Amino acid sequence: MSPAAAFTAKGLPKPSPGVCGWVALLPPRAATQPLEGTATADVTVIGAGFAGLSAARRLRELEPALSIVVLEAGVVGEGPAGRNSGFIIDLPHEVSSEDYGGDSLRKSRDHVTLQRRAVDFAKDLAAERGLGREVLDPRGRYNLALTAEGDRHLSDYAAQLDRLGEAHAMLDAAQVAGVTGSTAFTSGIYMPGTVIVQPAAYVRALADSLAAPARLHENTPVTAIERAGSGWRVRAPKGSVESPRVVLANNGHAERFGLFRGRLLHVHTYASMTEPFDPARLGGDRAWAATPASPMGTTLRRVTGPDGDRLLVRARYTRGPGLDVGEGTLRRAGALHDAKFAHRFPMLSGVGMQYRWGGAMALTRNAVPAFGEVEDGIFAACGCNGLGASNATASGLAAAEMLAGVETPLTRLYRGFAGPAAFPPRPLTLIGARATLAFRAWKAGIE
């Protein structure tokens, strides 16, 4: 570790484009007061998404008397966490297809252990807070194919799940139609361990579960982290907090503080949600959630509500030169969503998209978290690698346990991760990332 004296933010978070349907469907949130003046705490948490709030709640479980201050740049649920698709998965999207000699099988099982810890944490929160199925639904997920290549991928994936000893069920086209109401799909796998959340409502519930002496300040972007004696002073526009320990849980924005420089790839993904429609127009189950056979394919969810049902469509990934994207990119993604929706659900012709939005995520080159004690007393829980609800939750839990000096299966896994590898120089990374995303999108095709 370098003896850094300060980390100053090179820019503050900006809102992602569009209107997030998850937020729009909820009553407006009464945000907590921004930080003003000077404060002290045992731990300061930067970021109130899946990672930061999970870390704060876990710290409260481990040390109830600990004073914790959580600082959120915006309003809880309105940032990237609330723009998530809401899958807290227990099985990876991709199981290694390498020869199942010991190391490959162990790595896959390690990821299952990590992600299942996030699922269990979410279930515990739901039980404690009395969250209904409209917020957290333990219904599992489907993985769906539309092409012969997708069918082969699912068949291979099922064989790998067999090797792992994980429960799943294969579905033929008729069975998938019985679930989705659509004959567009050719096969599917059902996996029972995933929980589905309304992400904005879930992170709100997670924030509201924090009890004194923990406190949350929204609309409080952090501008600098400075050494203060043997600890740290975290500065915001109208105040500061001094604490010996800091949890940095702001994902890609960690790079704006000079941390993990050149080791995070900033990617945006996009979603659209339909206006409500009469449930009688679409057969099948009225609530289901599906990831695609191809990782770059299309995620779908059917959502029930008091005014009818809606469908969410998530597809398209972009990499720009910075952390922010504009409305034009969102419009282009929306056109793709419309085409995919029309192909899968022609019986819903005339049903339009009411909400469209983008959301940011951070990837590492070697698909490991940007995690660990980056300075004496500063613990990073960043780099979700595209599985924000699962991986960010687990990273927050692991950071809290390490900070508290508690050894768990999760901390042992995180200690075993290599650090994030460096990307090539920025121009090459930008060109390479755009080419890779374009190629994978082309390869996914209609999936």
Domains and CATH numbers, the chain: 6-83+200-265+365-432 (3.50.50.60)
- pLDDT given for residue 14 in this prediction: 82
- pLDDT given for residue 97 in this prediction: 43
- Report the alpha-carbon distance of residue 123 to residue 135 in Å, rounded: 11
- pLDDT given for residue 321 in this prediction: 56
- pLDDT given for residue 105 in this prediction: 75
**C-alpha distance from residue 179 to each of 188, 224, 303, 304, 405 (Å):** 10, 50, 13, 14, 46
Contact residues for 106 (Cβ-Cβ < 8 A; gap 6+):
none
Which tokens belong to 402?
């390490």
**413 close to 114: Cβ distance less than 8 angstroms:** yes
**129 close to 187: Cβ distance less than 8 angstroms:** no
- pLDDT given for residue 101 in this prediction: 40
For tokens 């590898």, what's the residue?
421
- pLDDT given for residue 103 in this prediction: 65
**227 close to 2: Cβ distance less than 8 angstroms:** no
- pLDDT given for residue 99 in this prediction: 37
**pLDDT tens across the length of the chain (447 residues):** 445 789 999 988 888 889 999 999 999 999 999 999 999 999 999 999 999 999 999 999 999 999 999 999 999 999 999 999 999 999 977 654 443 344 677 788 888 999 999 999 999 999 999 999 999 999 999 999 999 999 999 999 999 999 999 999 999 999 999 999 999 999 999 999 999 999 999 999 999 999 999 999 999 999 999 999 999 999 999 999 999 999 999 999 999 999 999 999 888 899 999 999 999 999 999 999 999 998 779 999 999 999 999 999 999 888 765 666 778 889 999 999 999 999 999 999 999 999 999 998 898 999 899 999 999 999 999 998 878 899 999 999 999 999 999 999 999 999 999 999 998 876 655 555 555 655 556 566 777
Element (H, E) at 292: strand 288-292
Which tokens belong to 163?
């090797």
- Report the alpha-carbon distance of residue 350 to residue 342 in Å, rounded: 9
The candidate with the shortest Cα–Cα distance to 69, out of 34, 32, 38, 40, is: 40
Read off the DSSP letter of residue 11.
S
**DSSP assignments along 339-372, one per residue:** HHHHHH-GGGTTPPEEEEEEEEEEE-TTS--EEE
- Report the alpha-carbon distance of residue 252 to residue 239 in Å, rounded: 24
- Pairing outcome for strands 43-46 and 245-248: parallel
- Report the alpha-carbon distance of residue 443 to residue 447 in Å, rounded: 9
- pLDDT given for residue 434 in this prediction: 58
Give pTM, 2 decimals.
0.93
- Report the alpha-carbon distance of residue 381 to residue 311 in Å, rounded: 32
Element (H, E) at 400: helix 393-403
- pLDDT given for residue 425 in this prediction: 76
The candidate with the shortest Cα–Cα distance to 46, out of 213, 202, 225, 258, is: 225
Task: List beta partners, residue 273.
Answer: 312, 355
